[in-house]
Structure 1
Amino acid sequence: MKRNLLIFGLALALAGLALFQHDRIDRNSSVYAAGRQELKVASPVPAFTLKGLDGGEYKVGGARDKPLMVNFWASWCGPCREEAPALKQVYDRYKGQFDLYAVNVTRGDELEAVKRFVNQAQFSFPVLLDTSGEAADAYRLLFVPTSFLIDRQGRLKEVIHVLPPDQLEDKIKRLIAS
């Protein structure tokens, strides 16, 4: 009888602890989500500054001289490899008219693999390293590759994923014209 009461008491304590933890996690998640800027078309994008593979610092957010495409990617990502030639092609064709930042989600990647990928793809645009994951979190990144098209005023125009080269070029032309 005492043993049954002890087991029941222990189970009740564990259930109470589980409920407390669940409630605490839900409250923290709500605060975190409430503190993040919502991403909506025509709204300002979250600002961030990241270091590039070239050692430079790159800023996103606010007004700029040219529209911008921010492409989140990883070296282990198959669709990112498929998309790389189209990114290079569209950037090489329109590089004076828009900026392209390739943001590597470095927290889930290896720096040597990133460098190999960039060399193989022959990227001539800045490759930024999101080592902490803060930029990916701010943009509510769910998977890679994901690209954000941003106008000169720093507002989100569109979110895109892997597209055939001609469709990507059409999107970039519209971004430049905006």
Structure 2
Amino acid sequence: MKKNVTAMLLALGLVALAVFQLGETNKEAEASAGYAKEMVYNKPVPSFTLQGLDGKQYAIGGEREKPVMINFWASWCGPCQEEAPALKSVYDKYGDRFDLYAVNVTRQDRMADVQAFVKQNGFSFPILLDKEGKTAEMYRVLFVPTSFLIDRHGKLQEVIHVLPPDQLEKRIQRLIQS
């Protein structure tokens, strides 16, 4: 009986060790791939590079001249349509003092719809294409729209969703002053 208990405890210990090591391996893989376990305020956000609708490459992350708003959206999203005029308005007003990158979750969208949405809303800021959805995964985006306000040092200041235009403007003003 003692032999069975000892063998059982040894087996459970080995299983626990294997599970722990597997978890650590996954954490290391996520960290090396740039995945954040969670988005933490006042901590650096993951870096990424995406192609824009204009064909240019855009790199996000680290120190920059201006703070940035990264807005994840899709053309089929009702709240994204609701938010679009406010995004255009704050960018038209403050675009010289902050960057705005609208990241289309293209894996869940159609390119013709993306182009029509951008044209219909008169967006003049860069539209980035997350064709595989990896950037949205990296930022832990659960639904659209989701926006990340990031200071000049590449640190997360706030995560927001659809706000009334005056509230969005206040958040952008605060970001610019940070």
TM-score bucket of the superposed structures, by smaller chain = 0.7 to 0.9
In the alignment, the residues of structure 1 paired with residue 150 and residue 132 of structure 2 have an alpha-carbon distance, to the nearest angstrom, of: 23
**Letter paired with 2:160:** I
SS of the residue corresponding to residue 72 of structure 2 reads strand
Q: 1:31 aligns with which of 7, 17, 26?
A: 26
Show the counterpart of 1:9: none
Show the counterpart of 1:52: 52
Show the counterpart of 1:12: none
In the alignment, the residues of structure 1 paired with residue 56 and residue 95 of structure 2 have an alpha-carbon distance, to the nearest angstrom, of: 18
Shift of 1:134: 1.1
- Runs of 5+ consecutive residues of structure 2 not aligned to the other structure: 1-18
1:152 and 2:149 are equivalent in the alignment: no
Aligned residue-pair number: 154
Shift of 1:61: 0.5
Scaled by the length of structure 2, what TM-score is found?
0.82
SS of the residue corresponding to residue 147 of structure 2 reads strand
Show the counterpart of 2:4: none
In the alignment, the residues of structure 2 paired with residue 130 and residue 144 of structure 1 have an alpha-carbon distance, to the nearest angstrom, of: 13
Show the counterpart of 1:66: 66
In the alignment, the residues of structure 1 paired with residue 64 and residue 177 of structure 2 have an alpha-carbon distance, to the nearest angstrom, of: 15
- Runs of 5+ consecutive residues of structure 1 not aligned to the other structure: 1-23
Query: Which consecutive segments of 4 or more residues in structure 1 shift more than 6 A?
Result: none
Q: Percent identity?
A: 63
Query: Once superposed, what is the RMSD of the aligned Cα atoms?
Result: 1.9
**Letter paired with 1:118:** V
Q: Give CA-to-partner distance per residue, 1:60-117, whole Å, 9 cap, x none.
A: 1100000000000000000000000000000000010000000000000000000000
In the alignment, the residues of structure 2 paired with residue 90 and residue 39 of structure 1 have an alpha-carbon distance, to the nearest angstrom, of: 24
**Letter paired with 2:165:** P
In the alignment, the residues of structure 2 paired with residue 75 and residue 124 of structure 1 have an alpha-carbon distance, to the nearest angstrom, of: 16
In the alignment, the residues of structure 1 paired with residue 58 and residue 120 of structure 2 have an alpha-carbon distance, to the nearest angstrom, of: 23
In the alignment, the residues of structure 2 paired with residue 46 and residue 133 of structure 1 have an alpha-carbon distance, to the nearest angstrom, of: 14
